[in-house]
Structure 1
């Protein structure tokens, strides 16, 4: 099989395409022919050895994929050859085939394209669990989304709108804001056009009920100041590369909450509820990921560079010859 390989740590351009033996499923595992894989910012960090988990090279990068089960290992009963599945992991997705634990794969709903399934998992799950179980977003509330043109940010815009919130989108280009508007954002702010604090005060004179921040850096403090008293600020990541320093007097004076999102912190019952609701949104096409760019396997370094530079709009995919429609 052909696969992207990271031979040593470095920038996206360090990766190369090689021929590797097909992986063999062990007990409880299946082998999946990959139809499409999504490129996420953590993939860039893993390749650079700047992620929270270090993977020794050489390795196949890629954390999100969708495809078809082509081989079943021993003691697998929940899946069969021919089943269409999606999955996530730390590495391994940028290959024509991948082996994964059957219990950790999700069936793709009928009628859902491999590309949609591959692009849906990480960003939309992160955004939905953040909104439902951390930000506790309610219909009619005001949601402020930073990085609203990226994978998680654009998913938060779309899902926040689906949950009945009024969404203010902050992004770095008109192209990203146009995408946010198409997914329901009511207010659009390009933070490169001027003072973000003033722009937020104008857009949200009564303050936001919740902020979702996958960016960090210089945008976080103005967004925190834009919260109403008692509002919730949820940090999801630091795509800017800079972890912000927050003046704690703002927390005291405004009575706001600063919260962090991680999957393992969600109550299991809420996690199941959220997952069921999200799959229903996907099945009924009320939540569909925005795919901003598609690349062939040979162009994986270009796909990684697009994400690394913060120029991606929505999700970036690597497509394989085995790509299938649902």
Structure 2
């Protein structure tokens, strides 16, 4: 297939900064231990958006994209599990903003026939991040009290449901009543609104003994407060630094109460670790998605030709959950899926209604671009 061409969104450096444009480029060829996936859909992630803004280096080859869903169309040598025609979702290091992408065989997750690729595309990065950080870093256990910052975001919506499925009591933070309602729907016992009073003071009233795990996407701006609300032996797990990377750390606080700080990035895991993580997601998270215990949250879905609109939506303050882009054939109405949640502005105003996607509802109208929201 190396002589064939495909559409891909390629980052090119221009005089005014990076520019993302649809181009025709050669279809990649899988090497040993790799598979070629025909992409049906991919979802957007913060690292990719930072690349399009020049805040992070462009990926090798210039095609962004950390996850997708599609069909295996070619396998390299040494691949035994996957065959032509297998439906998969995949963690890609780059390249999923395209019609085809090469993926290490271990980074693929089997997708059941009745799971739409639009839904499957929203799973790998969020599910892997939530599982890795709650289970491996946070050591979540039944009865734990877990604080999830940005609970209405792409990772947060999965993390809330996963923590609840693990038997934890979940407190989420979000911005505004619509996102707060979503978090409660997903399983938060309490939701703290960023737009209200001091949310950490409110948290201390709700959980005076402290929380066992904090899953934090802010970094420096919330470090001191996060440490203060941890119970003895608690774990602060940093998965994002939207609030900055530099802060003063009082080691005495850690030592006095035996609390821990850890952080992680899926991109830093080697292929062996990523393969093991994908197997854990397939074995422990995907079954909950199939049964509806965990429901991916889809904000909007756009065709490949509307990628700039999808990127603008990703940065909108109103966004919740995942923004998905379709590349290949999908269902007639990609925003209608059993077992998922979508938010729709179906009355022309700012209020949104939470509905299950198996109900027939209008597609969202296009929003104005606004500043990113940590939730």
Question: Under a length normalisation based on structure 2, what TM-score does the superposition of the two structures give?
Answer: 0.77
SS of alignment partner, residue 18 of structure 1: strand
- Counterparts of 2:85 and 2:237, CA distance in 1: 40
User: What are structure 2's unaligned runs of at least 5 residues?
Assistant: 1-5, 332-336, 339-375
Q: Could you report, residue by residue, the CA deviation over 1:261-306 in whole angstroms, capped at 9, with x for unpaired residues? A: 3454998998555652223223333222111121221222232233
1:196 aligns with 199
1:292 aligns with 299
What is the aligned length?
A: 324
- Counterparts of 2:64 and 2:310, CA distance in 1: 12
1:3 aligns with 8
2:343 aligns with none
Alignment partner for residue 59 of structure 2, among 55, 58, 68? 55
- Counterparts of 2:33 and 2:130, CA distance in 1: 30
Residue 11 of structure 1 contacts residue 47 of structure 1 at CA under 8 Å; is this kept in 2?
no
1:164 aligns with 167
Question: Under a length normalisation based on structure 1, what TM-score does the superposition of the two structures give?
Answer: 0.87
Matches within 5 A, 1:71-220: 71-74=74-77, 76-220=79-223
Alignment partner for residue 21 of structure 1, among 19, 22, 26? 26
Q: Could you report, residue by residue, the CA deviation over 1:14-59 in whole angstroms, capped at 9, with x for unpaired residues? A: 31222333333444433322111010001112334434x6535x61
- Counterparts of 1:29 and 1:319, CA distance in 2: 23
SS of alignment partner, residue 175 of structure 1: helix
* Structure-2 change in CA distance of 1:310 and 1:11 (3 Å): farther
Q: Quick check: 1:236 aligned with 2:243?
A: no
Which portions of structure 1, spanning 4 or more consecutive aligned residues, are displaced by more than 6 angstroms? 9-13, 265-270
SS of alignment partner, residue 62 of structure 2: coil
Q: Could you report, residue by residue, the CA deviation over 1:97-119 in whole angstroms, capped at 9, with x for unpaired residues? A: 22233343222134222122111
Name the structure where helix makes up a greater proportion of residues: 1
SS of alignment partner, residue 115 of structure 1: helix
1:33 aligns with 38
Please tell me the root mean square deviation across aligned C-alpha atoms, in Å: 3.0
Q: Could you report, residue by residue, the CA deviation over 1:177-230 in whole angstroms, capped at 9, with x for unpaired residues? A: 222111100111112322232122122222111111122242332222111222
Alignment partner for residue 313 of structure 1, among 294, 314, 320? 320
User: What are structure 1's unaligned runs of at least 5 residues?
Assistant: none
